[in-house]
Amino acid sequence: MSSVRPEDGLPVRRVITADSFRALKLKLNGGKPPPAAVAPPVPAPQQALPPKVPELPADPVPPVATVETLPEAIEPVRVEPPPQSETLAGSTVATIPDPLEPILLPAPEPLEIEPEPSQAESDPPLAEIIVEPAAPEPAMPEAPEAQAVEEQAKDAASPASTMTPVPREEPPAVSAPVKPGSPGFIERRVLERPLPEAPEAGERAHALLDIMAIPTAGSLPQERALANDTLLRLIPRMPLKSLRHLAERVCLMETPSQMLVRRLINDPRIEVSGPLLENAMTVDDSDLIAVCSSGNPAKLKLMARRRVISPALSEALIQSNDVETLLNLVRNQGAAFSIEAMWRLTRFAAAHPVLQAPLVTRQDTPSPIAFQLFWRLPSELRRYVLSRFLTDSETISKILIMNAENEGVERRFADLSLLSRLETASAEEQGAIYAQLVHVSKEAGARIAEDQGGEALTVALKAAGLTRAQFAGVVDKRQDAEALKAIFDTLSFNKARVLLTYWDWAARRTGPYARIAAA
């Protein structure tokens, strides 16, 4: 901005632009362009000092701003106003000719156009023009997202040698699925919000159950589905008596809703879940196994009483380690067991004698299980095992011969002279004598010597080929001599040999059941 003071002393403001400024320079120079000069490099702002501009003489011509060519590029130019003249009040104000009016001049030589200076930060004082380089605008802080994008772009543009390899994240290891009943299995269930009981809810539930019991030909799937969902919503409001009657009716249905059955068997009240767990044959084994994992003893005992129990459900019930549940399970003739489950039951029976009689008397108990359990049984059950699981035939004789040939043992008569050494021998020596007498391992001989019942001794002497008189001479001093003589009379050489063979396999941990028996 520039201001001049005319005769009346009142300033008139004029706007000086770049075009008007160049036109004014041409006018002051007589229409001749100034010589071209190359501007030197701009020094630092702090070293630049404003040069002194010579004062213009007083001239009737209105003062205008003049700019001299300075050695420094774009330096501040200061224009001094003319001396203020005294004016009288009421005088007229002379106007300054507009420098923007066109002036007819000869064609000038081409000029070097200097860059337009930027507007100063603040307006200069009156009659003073200061052209300063524009101050750089303050950089606005970038958003964190923008900075991250910019850094990624710089990394992508940088050479491959300067790039730092980013380690790849390994996919998470896929763990093996945990089955229900295992230690790592955790089942989460959504608990329903408790609602107040409504006596009329029971009547509505039975009406809905009637709709669900209609045969498929007489109802639509959408009707049964809606009735089922409505019934499930009514269950939290039904009284205990109505729920018990509902569970009993569901047990009689041929194809009940699995969602309804699952809801009832998971009810914590045994009056509601008990009838389904014991009597309903339409419950899936997967739902029953899930109930086993809860560890409720009352529910486990009821499931062990079911008319039909699959091997998978039997395995889940055995893993509960509840003696009463195992007792109900072993007594249930409708329960099926795998051979591994049978061996596990044998170990439980060795620790809990209450399981021994039901396990030995089962119809599906294999003979190896009974022979392994023989050492833990009382005398009455031992005689039952000898009478039930042993038999004699020509085929058995052939098989025993093949087994002896396979073991590399020659079939020969026993050395009965060893019997005279039994009375004076120690317990360890007696085991070695029995092993040499009946051609078994030392471990099996030691077990025969340690047995206090007398049944194992009777079997060994029968397999050694003793007569009844010779056997009586060995056992006459025992209190149970007469009972042992009766057992000796019922045994045959092949029966005794079969039982010794299984005992020898178990002692040496060989044969098809060695791994299972040792587990």
Confidence of residue 129 (pLDDT cuts 50, 70, 90): very low
Average pLDDT, the chain: 74
For residue range 429-482, list pLDDT tens digits in order. 888 888 888 888 899 999 999 998 899 999 999 998 888 998 988 888 888 899
User: C-alpha distances in angstroms, 131 versus 40, 44, 122, 246?
Assistant: 17, 16, 11, 99
* pLDDT above 70 coverage of the chain, percent: 61
Cα–Cα distance for residue pair 354/365, rounded to 1 Å: 16
Q: Which of 79-83, 281-285, 420-424, 437-441 has the least mean pLDDT? A: 79-83
**Residue 488 banded pLDDT, cuts 50, 70, 90:** very high
CA distance 368 to 514: 11
- Residue ranges of domains in the chain: 1-40+47-133, 198-283, 299-377, 390-518
pLDDT (mean) for 102-113? 49
Which pLDDT score is estimated for 455? Answer: 93
Is residue 327 pLDDT above 80, yes or no? Answer: yes
Give DSSP secondary structure letters for 313-349.
HHHHHHTT--HHHHHHHHH-TTB---HHHHHHHHHHH
More confident residue, 199 or 434: 434
Please tell me the distance from the alpha carbon of residue 331 to that of residue 304, in angstroms, as a whole number: 9
Check residue 262 and give its pLDDT: 92
30 or 85, greater pLDDT: 30
Q: How far apart are CA 156 and CA 151, in angstroms?
A: 9
Residues 6+ apart with CB under 8 A from 355: 323, 326, 327, 330, 345, 348, 349
How many Å apart are CA 132 and CA 127, to the nearest integer?
A: 16
For residue 493, give the amino acid letter. F
Which residue, among 34, 75, 79, has the nearest Cα to 51 in the 3D structure? 75
